[in-house]
Amino acid sequence: MSETNKVLARRSFEAIWNRRDLDCIDELYAPGYIGHIAARADAIQGPKGLKQFTAMFQFAFPDIRFVIEEQIAEGNSVATRWTVQGTQQSDFMGMAPSGEALTLAGISIQHFSNNQIVESWDNWDALGMLQGATSDLFELLSMGV
């Protein structure tokens, strides 16, 4: 079962994020799905909530691309270490677009039941994201402006 879950976890990154197939969310995520994201105060509720969050992310970072670096599975859980690259082209979670490419690292832990993701915990380098979004400000400050 662990290997099957690893395949499903990988598919969630490839299909949803890299190929932008949001319809795949209904297949891969359970109706009662709950998504915990460290950078958000509230959890994502259900496939509909995940579609909204994903669409918002993909709109802000239209060239987003995830690379899976490592996966570890045990029982009904899969931990995936990944990197993501993208260029922020519009506002995202209160951050104005920088127009600069970002590369961030993160980890997702997904819990499975009946070949669907029922819960996930995601954490990424939010500080790196903020630094990328405000790099122009940092550059100005370092120049004494």
Q: Residue 24: give its domain's CATH number.
A: 3.10.450.50
Torsion-angle region of 50 (φ positive above 0: left; ψ -120 to 50: alpha; else: beta): alpha
pLDDT reported for residue 140: 39
Phi-psi region of 46 (alpha: psi -120 to 50; beta: other; left: phi over 0): left
Range of the domain at 21: 2-140
With respect to residue 145, please indicate whether it lies within any of the assigned structural domains: no
Count up the domains in the chain and report the number: 1
Q: Report pLDDT for 41.
A: 85
> What pLDDT, on the 0 to 100 scale, is given for residue 43?
96
- Mean pLDDT, contiguous 10-residue spans, the chain (145 residues): 92 96 97 92 95 92 95 97 92 77 92 98 71 45 43
Model pTM score: 0.83
What is the structure's pLDDT at 91? Answer: 79
